[in-house]
Amino acid sequence: MSNVIIGKPLPAIPWEDKPKGCLDAVWRYSGNPILDWNPIPRAARIFNSAVVPCEGKFVGVFRADQRNSRATLFFGRSEDALRWQIGPDPIDWVDENGRPNPTSFSYDPRLVKLEDAYYITWCDDMHGPSIGLGRTTDFKTFLRMPNPLMPYNRNGVLFPRKIGGRYLLLSRPSDGGHTPFGDIYISESPDLIYWGRHRHVMGSGGQGWWQGMKIGAGPVPIETTAGWLLFYHGVSNTCNGYVYSFGAAILDLDDPARVLYRTRDYLLTPEKPYETVGFVPNVVFPCANLVDAETGRIAIYYGAADTCTAVAFAQVDELIDYIKNNSEVF
């Protein structure tokens, strides 16, 4: 293999070989969706959710829309990262003094192990949508930290390690509604509290209409010998509303504001019934990936139609070759 993942072996991640005859660099799990309508008593739909390995098993922070349609975050555990025990109640955030620090809505979490703690970023309510940041070491106490960026903003994604001595955060400045624009930016911090040196990373547009209206970072970037592999969603506007697909980019290892390659065509677009029919039709929205550095296997977790949680697979070497050979940087 010429392009490899820099990281630990994790042979227990979900995996299925590519179906015979499939020409795509990303393929779906045959057992999709792994979470369907009304998966737990308090949630009508669980989607756009984040998972990580933890002590030989898996844990996750899940976007669960309750029956009042309000988005909240729930914690869950799994032995195999496919069958999840979630809930029963939303995560209770506290402040530095252990006092309740609730938020009125929370959605689209990402979850990353960074040094000695797990950090959650999500779309938080800061008098309108902005990036939330939380920390836990035991998945029992969840500290809600100061919001890293001003409203309005969504799709906050932390890198899994410091680069050049700084923590790095991708985000997508937006409006307070169903934003009809959006590019990916990067911000730096010495301490996860004070953020600055904001820079543009990549914009919507190009040849691919699937990413013509807006784009947003997806899962936590994967460190590879070719650069940071970042799945991102791209949105096109149609006469029937927005359509969410996803592609991937490769960012420079030492300066991830530099885009080396990005997909001209989508890697996955809504095709299956659970992606095209649901609460919001025609959405695939990746928020997490699990990787095995030994085999180069990647399991991508994505929300489908704002209703279900689904999984897709890719093999890092093949995927990076595909991205390099079908790239467009603009």
Q: Which residues contribute to the site for ligand BMA (CB under 6 A)?
A: 48, 107-108, 178, 244, 280, 283, 285, 303, 306
Smallest distance from ligand BMA to CB 108, Å: 5
Name the residue nearer to ligand BMA (CB basis): 71 or 220.
Answer: 71
Least distance CB 144 / ligand BMA (angstroms): 19
Nearer to ligand BMA, 69 or 97 (CB): 69
Closer Cβ to ligand BMA, 172 or 262, answer by number: 172
Nearer to ligand BMA, 261 or 302 (CB): 302
Please state, in angstroms and rounded to a whole number, the distance separating the CA atoms of residues 157 and 168: 8
C-alpha distances (whole Å) from 35 to each of 173, 176, 311 are 30, 29, 10
Question: What is the C-alpha radius of gyration for the chain, rounded to an integer number of angstroms?
Answer: 18
As given in the structure block, the two tokens for residue 116 are: 């000695």
CB of 89 to ligand BMA, least distance (A): 21
Q: What are phi and psi of 86, to 5 degrees?
A: -120, 140
Q: Say if CB 259 and CB 202 are below 8 A apart.
A: yes
**Minimum distance between the CB of residue 153 and ligand BMA, rounded to whole angstroms?**
12
Instruction: Supply the minimum distance, in Å, between the C-beta of residue 55 and ligand BMA.
Output: 29
- What letters, b where the CB count within 10 A reaches 16 and e where it falls short, cover 30-40? eebbbbbeebb
Q: Which is nearer to ligand BMA, 84 or 285 (CB)?
A: 285
Q: Please report, to the nearest 10 degrees, the dihedral formed by the alpha carbons of residues 137, 220, 91, 105 taken in order.
A: 140
Which residue's entry shows tokens 């820099």?
A: 6
